[in-house]
Structure 1
Amino acid sequence: MSIMPITNQYVKDLDREYVFHSWSTQGTLNPLVIAGGEGCTVWDYDGKRYLDFSSQLVNTNLGHQHPAVIAAIQEQAATLTTIAPATANHMRGEAAKRIIEQAPEGFRKVFFTNGGADANENAIRMARLFTGRDKVLSSYRSYHGNTGSAIVATGDPRRVPNEYARGHVHFFTPYLYRSEFHAQTEAEETARALRHLRRVIESEGAQSIAAILLESLPGTAGVLMPSAAYMQGVRELANEFGILLILDEVMAGFGRTGKWFALEHYGVVPDLITFAKGVNSGYVPVGGVVISEPLSNYFDTHFFPGGLTYSGHPLAMASIVAAIDAMRKDGVVENALDIGSRCLGPRLRDLQQRHASIGEVRGAGVFWALEFVSDRDTRAPLAAQTMQALKAALIERGLLPFVVDNRIHVAPPCIISLAEVEAGIAILDEVIGAVLG
């Protein structure tokens, strides 16, 4: 009996018949088919290749099919595929140990979750239990996940049809290019944003606020890197009012910005750190909360009312161990820093000089955004229809972008080479010129 070969059309038909997609109107979907990948490249069943300039959803920091991580998953699957979280497991301990070794001084333990959203859920839970307070403050320009509290902590408009959780308050964080504070300089933006946050704390009642939850570097909101002075000011406000600081490193952590944690850019140490994505390049679903010593000590004598069947799943733990070991051995974080400062950042700024439609370029490491405008003077965002045309043309030319609103986020794997950066920039240059003139 002959076996029919798998084709792009067969996979697409199968998907559209049976798969329900996230963040979508189902009847209008036309998903890209991917058959395999290696390094910074993926391909379909026809053999068409794409340079992955998005790291999928900014998670494949080690690229696709890293052999050491794949081997570790296979070896663990042959040894012990799954085990309950209440047990002690070798790989779970090794994974937690490695994460603590990379965290700032003063962190003690790791609580493992299934992904970034429930990492933020559990960090919020820990903060409320520790402080005895309820409210959580977070930015309007943020994304923290799609579970109950995480989506309400999220600031972007996707939270609006999902507002079922209690006790969430939002505030504006710095974004000088589109300042909410009529600022003209970074110093003005920082000072006014901190004054705004102080007034929100005072108006909400500091004694009712458990935590301030911030992305160390807001990703989906636009790769918005705040000043060190702002982040240090937030830490000082949290200290002043007895509020915990939770930094969300789900997208920005584990090499993405050229540091193990993006918080290292600011000289700020939070009380809790959430992570996922880059910790194992997303090869097996996993996330977690890195817990500072005061909170760890608190839960030594206070019950923690939370848990997950797959917390610390052996396959995920093995992938974390292998991923962190590979990143250390191969200098992956250092490569991200070097590529960003020596090539990617400068070449993206060159594009800005060549194309009037690029209003601002910002980022660090291998985490950048091009903000497109229809007019540089008014900074009017480029129309959504035009952004979709840009996206379609990039994909047609073999480049996978991450397009959000009027921005193209440039976030290739941390292992990307200079030659691959140059190839991707050349496609961007060509497509922007062709579509926008």
Structure 2
Amino acid sequence: MTSQAFQDDRAHVFHSWSAQRALAPAVVVGGEGAWFWTEDDTRYLDFSSQLVNLNMGHQHPRVVAAIQEQAAALCTVAPSFGNAARSEAARLIADLAPGDLSHVFFTNGGTEANEHAVRMARLATGRHKILAAYRSYHGATTGSITLTGDPRRWPNEPAMPGVVRFFGPYPYRSPFHAESEAQESERALAHLDEVFTLEGPQTIAAVILETVVGTNGILVPPDGYLAGVRELCDRHGVLLICDEVMSGFGRCGEWFAVDRWNVAPDLITFAKGVNSGYVPLGGVVLGPRVYETFAERAYPGGLTYSGHPLACAAAVATINAMKDEGINERVRRLGEEVVRPRLAKLQERHPSVGDVRGLGLFWAIELVKDRATREMLVPYNAAGEAAKPMLEVAAACKAQGVWPFTHFNRLHVVPPCVTTEKDLSNGLDVIDDALDVADRYYTGS
């Protein structure tokens, strides 16, 4: 017997990124901390943080209370007005941002933030080209999906003109045949420098990159890479946009992941963890170079719900709770003392584990059929029968009460930043068991 909620979903809800008739979505009715449960009382440890946005977990009492308090006072107001929640959220975010970033343009999510960051960069520089990486995801609206480097872009082409692709660093599958992380950084920067030359630096408005590549591999940049990109941009008068939609607000153990490398971009885009998605919110943090462009002339862009009071109140409560609970310090400790050594042991135990990488609570387990050749457990952009091994790995996790995040041939470890050490360890135990499924498909020696 199916519930009314399930029946109505199948009859009327059109889901994103899905073949509609193939769906049978679990109906979620509640959550607390790192856990959520469905209408049949099945409980899951949320090792996906939903879509890697639930940094403060389900139903954080301070965030819920802030939304309730703001709703009782004022639910919404047009963006042309001032509002205490909006102003405080902007001040807190600007205070946390690196360098001279001082103002915040609020959006409803990450894709809009990237759309507006690109628009700002083009208008501020008077140039039109945007350099974006192949292994990237920047959102699903027309401009952002063009910036995106993964196959979700393909059915949406042709789209926004002026986007030029480059390869970022990926030591495990180096496009530059590098033999060390230092060499990977050096060669990736030489490649980007050549792209600048071949495209004409005077035509390039901005480089956009995920500080730590998220969905497309959790690729942590080698030391020196981001500083090198910053130097290239400065040399040619190009703006640097760091997409921190997934990597910011505690996920990497920093307010913004760029802080780890002491690099200050010209624009930072954010969303997700800024308020754990309790109410949709994103934004662009910008500094004087962009701000002064629009000091005396109007910025040609806006949104009805820019700086929505409920969303901003949730952001204020989230940032203050993160400070009081020492979330960044906690995430750094769990990443280094729990996740890193456990994943290293998994790599030793399971032949299908080709690589593990990450920081904070932002990790990837890359699965292969053969360690020597690094053949992926499933092909790039696999679907149908070809994707079966990864589907079975995910099913094995769910059968033991852990909801995983998978993409292509990778299993990502991205639980809420408030996950207890016990739950984190138990979740890794489940992944350990599930990897036995991947090992059955291993063909190497």
Q: TM-score category by the smaller chain?
A: over 0.9
Aligned to 2:436: 433
Distance 1:372 1:8, change over 3 A: farther
1:121 deviates by 0.3
Report whether the alignment pairs 1:391 with 2:385. Answer: no
Give the AA of the match of 1:403: T
The answer for unaligned runs of 5 or more in structure 2 is 379-386, 441-445
1:410 to 401, 407, 413: 413
How far 1:275 moved relative to its partner? 0.1
Following superposition, the deviation at residue 108 of structure 1 comes to: 1.2
Give the equivalent residue in structure 2 for 1:378: 373
CA–CA distance in structure 2, aligned partners of residues 105 and 24 of structure 1:
41
> What's the offset of the Cα at 1:435?
5.4
Paired residues for 1:220-259 under 5 Å: 220-259=215-254
Q: How many residues are aligned here?
A: 431
The C-alpha deviation readout for 1:73-97, integer Å capped at 9, x for no partner, is: 0111111001000001111000001
Distance of 1:344 and 1:415 partners within structure 2: 14
1:195 equivalent in alignment to 2:198: no
Distance of 2:433 and 2:98 partners within structure 1:
42
**Matched-pair contact (CA < 8 Å) for 1:228–1:267:** no
Q: Which stretch of structure 1 is more off in the superposition, 160-169 or 402-411?
A: 160-169
C-alpha distance in structure 1 between counterparts of 2:101 and 2:120, whole Å: 15
* Partner in structure 1 of residue 81 of structure 2: 87
Comparing 159-168 with 121-130, which one deviates more in the overlay? Answer: 159-168
How far did residue 105 of structure 1 move?
Answer: 3.0
Q: Distance in 2 between matches of 1:348 and 1:63?
A: 23
Query: Which one of 10, 15, 37 corresponds to residue 31 of structure 2?
Result: 37
Look up the equivalent residue of 1:146 and give its one-letter code: A
- Which residue does 2:384 correspond to in 1? none
CA RMSD in angstroms, aligned pairs only: 1.1
The equivalent residue for 1:266 is: 261
AA aligned opposite 1:65: Q
* Counterpart residue number, 1:4: none
CA separation in 1, counterparts of 2:434 and 2:173? 26
- Show the counterpart of 2:138: 144
1:355 equivalent among 328, 350, 356: 350
1:272, CA displacement in angstroms? 0.3
Residues of 1 paired with 2:438 and 2:124: CA distance? 53
Q: Which one of 287, 292, 295 corresponds to residue 287 of structure 2?
A: 292
Whether the aligned pair in 2 keeps the contact of 1:137 and 1:211 (CA below 8 Å) is: yes
Give the TM-score normalised by the residue count of structure 1: 0.97
Amino acid at match of 1:143: Y
Partner of 2:126: 132
Q: Is the 8 A contact 2:47 2:415 kept in 1?
A: yes
Structure 2: distance between partners of 1:340 and 1:108: 30
Query: Which residue in the other structure is 1:66 paired with?
Result: 60
Amino acid at match of 2:66: A
Secondary structure at the counterpart of residue 213 of structure 1: strand
Instruction: Specify every segment of 5 or more residues in structure 1 that has no aligned partner in the other structure, as ranges.
Output: 1-6
User: After TM superposition, which residue ranges in structure 1, 4 or more long, deviate above 6 angstroms?
Assistant: none
Distance 1:105 1:170, change over 3 A: same
* Stretch deviating more after TM superposition (210-219 or 30-39): 30-39
Amino acid at match of 2:349: R
Q: Is 1:46 paired with 2:40?
A: yes
Q: Report the counterpart of residue 403 of structure 2 in structure 1.
A: 400
- The SS at the match of 1:36 is strand
Alignment deviations for residues 242-292 of structure 1 (CA, whole Å, 9 cap, x no partner): 100000000000000011111112121100000000000110001000011
**1:95-244 to 2 correspondence within 5 Å?**
95-163=89-157, 164-244=159-239
2:342 and 2:428 in contact (8 A); partners too:
yes
Distance (Å, rounded) in 1 between the aligned partners of 2:353 and 2:115: 36
> Deviation of residue 33 (structure 1)?
2.2
SS at match of 2:295: helix
Q: Name the residue aligned to 1:3.
A: none
Tell me if the contact between 2:393 and 2:437 (Cα under 8 Å) persists in the aligned partners. Answer: no
